[in-house]
Amino acid sequence: MNPSGQVAIVTGGGSGLGEATARALAAKGAKVAVFDVGIEKAEKVAKEIGGIAVKVDVSSAEAGEAAFADVEAKLGPARILVNCAGIGIAMKTTSKDGAHPLDLYRKVIEVNLIGTFNMIRLMAVRAEKLEPLAGGERGVIINTASVAAYDGQIGQVAYSSSKGGVVGLTLPVARDLARAGIRVCTIAPGLFKTPMMAGLPQEAQDSLGAQVPFPPRLGDPSEYGMLALHIVENPMLNGETIRLDGAIRMAPR
């Protein structure tokens, strides 16, 4: 799909991987809606790329419906969705403080997994009603997993569970939506220089980057945006999860 002139929604678009993707899509001529719970960050990005900012909790059905309605009213129906919104915690299944709090586990699942599916279903039910483009395509959906879906480390049980779920839904959703000409892919990033990572001391960042076989550094969010853009533009990419990790395989800790 040529993104030029198409409406694109990027969740978590106020920073990190989402911001880089929003900028990449806008540079190709897409009309971008930046979804984020942090509306100030979203507004800053939206202003710089000529898009709109929408405050939304991706895990809420009601907030999601309202956000999609807002986008349709201001930009038109979306044909591109990139799910980058997510949270993470570091907590073991058991510790000296006892069992992993269930509410914290549930929160990560709600945002990362349920939030991703919520955005997918709301976009797809609208996109399948659109007129097909050349080749019969109506939409493209890109999700964000993580190498933690495969190489989850100590203390990543909630995060890895949520990202493993995103990997698991990719193929069946792609199959569900194939009849409507809507493609679905997932990117599983490795160690990237996101705001969370940038908060670490430079020495720690360098040490983590050195663990990557090649290139031996942290990934730049723009490299995620490059892949997201390629998925949008390449009509044969469908139902696949692509690791974007410099060949790293995470150790237990």
pLDDT at 204: 81
Q: Give the sign of the dihedral formed by CA 115, CA 53, CA 79, CA 88.
A: negative
HEC-encoded secondary structure of 28-48: CCCEEEEEECCHHHHHHHHHH
- Residue count of the chain, please give it: 253
pLDDT at 222: 98
Which residues contact residue 103 at a Cβ distance below 8 angstroms, ignoring those fewer than 6 apart? none
Query: Which domains does the chain show, CATH number per domain?
Result: 7-241 (3.40.50.720)
pLDDT at 253: 86
Q: Which candidate, 145, 243, 130, 228, places its Cα nearest to that of 177? A: 130
pLDDT at 200: 74
Tally of CB atoms within 10 A around 239 = 16
Which residues contact residue 80 at a Cβ distance below 8 angstroms, ignoring those fewer than 6 apart? 1, 3, 6, 7, 8, 9, 25, 30, 139, 140, 141, 142, 232
Q: Which candidate, 89, 84, 241, 250, places its Cα nearest to that of 157? A: 89
pLDDT at 196: 76
pLDDT at 141: 99
Confidence (pTM): 0.97
My answer on whether omega of the bond before 215 falls inside 30° of 0, hence cis, is yes
Q: Which residues of the chain have pLDDT under 70?
A: none
pLDDT at 195: 83
Instruction: Compute the distance between CA of residue 245 and CA of residue 243 in angstroms, rounded to an integer.
Output: 6
Burial class (CB in 10 A: 0-12, 13-18, 19+), 167: middle
> What are the tens digits of pLDDT across the range 140-187?
999 999 999 999 999 999 999 999 999 999 999 999 999 999 999 999
pLDDT at 207: 87
31-36 and 7-11 beta bridge pairing = parallel
Active site residues per annotation: 159
